Structure 1
């Protein structure tokens, strides 16, 4: 692989990590705000927006490390499987990211108390929403790095 191709893959990996982290942090903030609203604490749209940025800064650091590690392991696995199952490349990448972050939360949950890490992952809807956000980042990487279609007549394979 050439240097330019390697740099493109690294840039797409970093973009996928940033997208997944940003979406995951937004999901986590909105789940927190919905929990406050259930406690009958009024939360306006401006309050939601104002609480998003501090939450991004506090939650994003650990979540960024988790997403980067997850995608560093899951993306090569998805790439290998996508060579065998070509029509499902998009699904394999999305599932690799989503399944990887689920596993990462389970592993981290063994070492850190869940109440100090992310309340969004305590219930299944929050965990699924964060899994979808990482799945979107993983899917984006798969979409940006897909092999070009070969043109012309293919005989015997």
Structure 2
């Protein structure tokens, strides 16, 4: 496929690492989010008996249900995409050794930010420049596992 020729595989692998925690969160919490959304659909307001109209919009309850169903559909689609992502990403991630996963998580996860090289250097007892080389090597390894030869 011609599009793969122009894809920056290293950048795509780095983005995939950044998405990992979000995808895992979606998979772990979507069931509960959907249960909550269904509960909200069935928890429509009680009618008031003061003789005044309950809402300015007589279709407010129907719109509430329709919006809730749309939200549930969106959650299900997001969950489907997260599962698809994990089936693609997790085997490659698991193929990395522990040090490579640590280095990539430090550089591309949200934990250390700009101080990642220093943190990796301290953790592995290496210089900052070596930490960057380890990051580049691990990222190349992951990109090769995800996309094939670079």
Per the normalisation by structure 2, the TM-score is 0.27
More helix by percentage: 1
The structure having more radius of gyration, on CA atoms, is: 2
Per the normalisation by structure 1, the TM-score is 0.27
